[in-house]
Structure 1
Amino acid sequence: MQTTYRNRLFILVSILCFTSISAALISQHVFDMKPCSWCIVQRLIFFIIGIVSFVGYYIRSDILSRIIAIVISILSIFGIFAAYMQKVSYSESLSCMTTPADTIISSTGFDSSIPWLFNVYSSCADDPVFLFGVEYFVWSLSLFIILAVIAISAAIRNTN
């Protein structure tokens, strides 16, 4: 079984996503940094991208692997939007009103079935959380941009 350029990118994307989730869980459960609903939406997107890219690693069909790369690109763009919305929500939210992120999280059921991973513990009206002096949304936004670039590269690169 030969590993192609695209397959190596898929495993890299999967590792980056699950490392990001691990860092978020350490921040939450060890350092008591409580996630808001947009944080959890981003975590869910990282989780989905990680699974899709892991599956993509085992795909040997050029067309199917390109489709998976396109799906990862689209999911990464959703992640960029979610990170942006986290920032907008922090700066504009003065109440505890339900956001679209709250609706997404509650409709998936993950918050009740896997609460240690997907439960919301703070509001977007709370102060933003910083990691190494940088707001969390910047870390997440940066990683989603990197994932989008990697996925687009995987989609357009000819592996022959």
Structure 2
Amino acid sequence: MQTTYRNKLFILVSILCFTSISAALISQHVFDMKPCSWCIVQRLIFFIIGIVSFIGFYIRSDILSRMVAIIISILSILGILAVYMQKISYSENLSCMMITPADSIINSTGFDSLIPWLFSVYSSCADDPVFLFGVEYFIWSLSLFIILAVIAISAAIRNIN
């Protein structure tokens, strides 16, 4: 079975996503950095991208693997939107007093009760932002979503012969 350029990118994307989730879990459970609802939505998007890209690694059809790359691109853009919404929520403390769209997404998936150690919200967007190595956590997440989008878009448009 031949591994193509696109398949190698899919496994890279999957590794990046699950490494990101692992870092978030270490930050949460070891260093007591509590995630807000938008953080959990981003974590959920990383999880879905990781699964989709892992499945994409095994697809040998050019058309199907391009479709997987497009799906990953769309999910990455949704992740960028979630980061943007997190930043808006931090700057608008009034919006933190009510249920946010992120809370609705998390509640509707049921993952917060199914896998609470991974998808439960322990903080509010009204709390102070969390820093990792002097950089706000949302910047790390935004950077990774941008990298994933670039990788997925390049996988979608590149001809493999």
- Whether TM-score is above 0.5 comes out as yes
Pairs within 5 Å for 1:71-90: 71-90=71-90
Which position in structure 1 is the counterpart of 2:148?
Answer: 147
- Following the alignment from structure 2 to structure 1, what is the Cα–Cα distance between the partners of residues 70 and 78? 13
Which position in structure 1 is the counterpart of 2:70?
Answer: 70
Deviates more, 1:20-29 or 1:84-93: 84-93
- Following the alignment from structure 1 to structure 2, what is the Cα–Cα distance between the partners of residues 150 and 22? 21
RMSD of equivalent CA atoms: 0.6
- Following the alignment from structure 1 to structure 2, what is the Cα–Cα distance between the partners of residues 110 and 7? 29
- Count of residues paired in the alignment: 160
* Runs of at least 5 residues in structure 1 that lack an aligned partner in the other structure: none
- Following the alignment from structure 2 to structure 1, what is the Cα–Cα distance between the partners of residues 40 and 57? 25
Residues 48-81 of structure 1: per-residue CA shift (max 9 Å, x gap): 0000000000000000000000000000000000
Pairs within 5 Å for 1:6-155: 6-94=6-94, 95-155=96-156
| Partner-residue secondary structure (3-state), 2:31 | coil
> How far did 1:96 drift?
2.5
> How far did 1:97 drift?
1.0
> How far did 1:93 drift?
2.1
> How far did 1:37 drift?
0.1
- Following the alignment from structure 1 to structure 2, what is the Cα–Cα distance between the partners of residues 107 and 125? 22
Letter of the structure 2 residue corresponding to residue 102 of structure 1: D
- Following the alignment from structure 1 to structure 2, what is the Cα–Cα distance between the partners of residues 83 and 137? 6
Query: Which TM-score applies when normalising by structure 1?
Result: 0.99
| Partner-residue secondary structure (3-state), 1:88 | helix
